[in-house]
Amino acid sequence: MSMSDKEKILSRIENKEAAIGVVGLGYVGLPLAIAFAEAGYRLVGIDVDESKVDALNRRESYIEDVPSEQLAAVVDSGLFYASSDYSELAGVDAISICVPTPLRKTGDPDISFIIMASDEIARVGGSGKLIILESTTYPGTTEEIILPRLISNGDVIGRDVFLAFSPERIDPGRKDYTIFTTPKVIGGVTPACLEVAVKLYSAIVREVIPVSSTSTAEMVKLLENTFRAVNISLVNEVALMCDKLDLDVWEVVDAATTKPYGFMPFYPGPGMGGHCIPVDPMYLSWKLRTLNYKARFIDLAAEVNGQMPGFVVSKVADALNEERKALNGSRILILGVAYKPNVNDVRESPAMDVIILLQEKGAVVRYHDPYVPSLEHEGFELSSISLTDADLENSDCVLILTHHDSFDWPTIANKSRLIVDTRHAINKQGSGKLIYL
C-alpha cells in the first residue's frame, strides 16, 4: 500500500527531509526561516523585495533580531537561500505565509498580500503541501481566502493539501521569549491539517497549543492584542484623569501594582505604536461591522489612544508657557521616535503625530534616536542629530517619547532646562524642570 500525502509529509518532517518555504522575509518571516534552517531543514525564503533577497544572499541581515553572523551560518551551510521567484516553492513540502496585513486609511484590512501569496502558491501547486498562514488577520481569512485557491484544482483539503493558521507571536527586540520558548497556537482546517502543522512546528517550538479551527486561532491573536490595546487605553485615560485631578499617574500605577492579585500594571505613554497593538484590534472591529455589531471597547480604545499625541503637545505648550515661552518658535528636542525601546521600528509610532502637531504649531523640531537615523512621514523629513550637551542645553524643551536603554539619563536630566517625560524614564530631578505625562 502506498503512503498517503499526509504520511509522506509527516515522515519527511520527522526525518528532517522536508523542504520548507517562507513567504515574506520581514520581522516575522526571517526569524522563522532561520529557526527552521537551524533545526536542520532546507529552507527557501521568498520576498518580492529584490533588495532584501540580495542582502540575505550576501549574508547581510536587516532584522535586528537576526544577527548577520547567525544568517551567514545557515547560508554557508546550504540550508537557506532567498529568492523573489515563487517557482522556487514548487518542490517544498511546507510553506509559511508571513506577509504584511496593514490597514487601509478607511480602517479596512488590506489582505492583498495574502491574496497574492495564495495565488502564487496555487500557481506553483499546493498538492502534497502544508500551507500555514501566520499573518495577523480577521477570523475567517484562512478558509475564505486561501482555501478556495488551494482546492480549485480538485484537491481535497486534509487529504491532498493541508492548511492551517498559526499566529505569529514575535516581539521585536525581546530576548527572554524566542520562537522556541513562546508557545505556538495552531488551528487546522481539518484534523489532518492540524496534525501535520503541529508536527512541523514542534520541530522548532517547545510547546504547541492546538485549537479547534483556523478561525479560533485567528481570534486568539486578535484577543491577545486587543487585551493590550484596551488596557493601554485605560491607563492612558487614567493619566488624563490624573492630570485633571493633579495626581501623579505613575505613583498611582506603582501603588496599585503592589496588590498581589487582580491587577496587572500597564503604563501610560504618548500613544500606541508598532505593527500589532494599534492595528490588530481594528481587523476585529471591521469584521464585526460586517455582521452589524459594534466593537465598542475596541473603538473607544482607539479613540482614547488617538488623543494622546495631542495631550503630549498640550503638556509641552503648558510647560513652555510657565517659562514665559510660546510653543511657536520654541526649539523642541525629541528623544526617541521608535514605537518601543531598543528597536528601529517606527510603524504607527505616536512620535509621528507628535512631530506633525508640534510643527503645525510653529515649533522647531529636532530628534535624536540611535536606532532611527532618518524619518520621512506625511509632511516632514528629518534626520537624527548626534546628541551633545550643547543640544540639550540649547533646547527650550526636551521631550522624551521613547526610553532607549542607551540614553544617558543622568546627563539628560542635568543638561536640559525643561524636560517633558512621557515614559517616566528619568527618576531623579536634574538641574532643570521635569514634568511627567
The confidence score (pLDDT) of residue 1 equals 39
276 catalytic, yes or no? yes
Measured CA to CA in angstroms, residue 6 lies from 40, 136, 197, 435 at distances of 21, 26, 11, 62
Q: In DSSP terms, which residues pair with 19 in a beta bridge?
A: 42
Taking alpha carbons only, the member of 300, 263, 265, 304 closest to residue 285 is 300
The confidence score (pLDDT) of residue 194 equals 98
Measured CA to CA in angstroms, residue 283 lies from 52, 73, 106, 109, 168 at distances of 28, 38, 12, 6, 15
The confidence score (pLDDT) of residue 380 equals 84
CA atoms within 13 A on the CB side of 175: 5
Residue 183 has pLDDT above 60, yes or no: yes
Active site residue: 98, 242, 276, 397, which one?
276
Q: Per-residue pLDDT tens for 102-158? A: 887 777 889 999 999 999 999 999 999 999 999 999 999 999 999 999 999 999 999
Burial class from Cβ neighbours inside 10 Å (0-12, 13-18, 19+) for residue 249 reads buried
Residue 2 has pLDDT above 90, yes or no: no
Cα four-point dihedral sign 265, 270, 271, 275 = negative
Q: Per-residue pLDDT tens for 31-44? A: 999 999 999 999 99
Q: Per-residue pLDDT tens for 253-285? A: 999 999 999 999 999 999 988 767 788 888 899
Q: Per-residue pLDDT tens for 217-246? A: 999 999 999 999 999 999 999 999 999 999
Q: Which phi and psi angles does 419 have, rounded to 5°? A: -125, 130
Contact of 197 with 13, CB cutoff 8 Å: no
The confidence score (pLDDT) of residue 361 equals 96
Q: Per-residue pLDDT tens for 7-60? A: 999 999 999 999 999 999 999 999 999 999 999 999 999 999 999 999 999 999
Q: Per-residue pLDDT tens for 401-427? A: 999 999 999 999 999 999 999 999 998
Give percent of the chain above pLDDT 90. 88
Domains and CATH numbers, the chain: 5-212 (3.40.50.720), 237-436 (3.40.50.720)
Mean pLDDT of the chain: 94
